Amino acid sequence: MKKQRICSTWLGLLWVIFVGTLLHFVYGWTGENRVVGLYAPVSESSWEHLKLLFTPFLIYTIAEYFWLGKQYRGYLLVRAEGVWLGMLTILSSFYTYQGILGFHCLPLDILTFLAGAGVCARFCHRRLERAQGSNWLGLAILAATLLAFGVFSEAPPQFGMFLPPDAVALIQ
């Protein structure tokens, strides 16, 4: 069982990195399809870039649930906590480095994504053996997050992380 979990963690991490990287371009490749834009980045805002982690992570979570997840109580709650921790890692790293440097740097943006994916994978792997809680609560958190991505893609609030960097600079 432990070897399966290790294998699944590595496969999941590679999946998230590969699919998340491709997802950055999918909205443009589909001619800016609105349905695709609900769950793939439609702008350069921090919020939109969290989809690079969340969407492939959610797809992998659904697949992994049928392979391993049913064996763990609280599997979906652990996964929801893990993806939120990964997204918070991305946001905190991004805003910290930008605050220190005072400018945007693509290689550091890529590293924030990789760090978020790594933190997410490690947390889920380590926490799964001790998983407690409700799968229903985890499902509700994942569903609410998915819904929020769709809603805020269509009607983003006009502040902070929901705005592209060039729009934020205009406000300041």
Judge whether 168 lies within some domain.
no
What is this structure's pTM?
0.91
Judge whether 162 lies within some domain.
no
pLDDT tens digits, 116-127: 999 999 999 998
Judge whether 160 lies within some domain.
no
Judge whether 166 lies within some domain.
no
> Which residues form the domain of 138?
2-154
**Per-position DSSP letters for 21-45, written without gaps between them:** HHHHHHHHHTTS-HHHHTTS--SSS
Judge whether 122 lies within some domain.
yes
Phi, psi of 26 (to 5 degrees): -60, -40
Judge whether 161 lies within some domain.
no
Domain count, the chain: 1
pLDDT tens digits, 16-66: 999 999 999 999 999 999 999 989 999 989 999 999 999 999 999 999 999
Report, in this order, helix, strand and coil percent for the chain, each rounded to 5: 80, 0, 20
- Mean of the per-residue pLDDT values for the chain? 90
Scanning the structure block, which residue is given the tokens 């605050």? 99
Judge whether 33 lies within some domain.
yes
Identity of the amino acid at 134: S
Element (H, E) at 12: helix 2-29
Nearest-angstrom CA–CA distance, 30 and 55: 17
Structure token pair of residue 83 = 């993806």
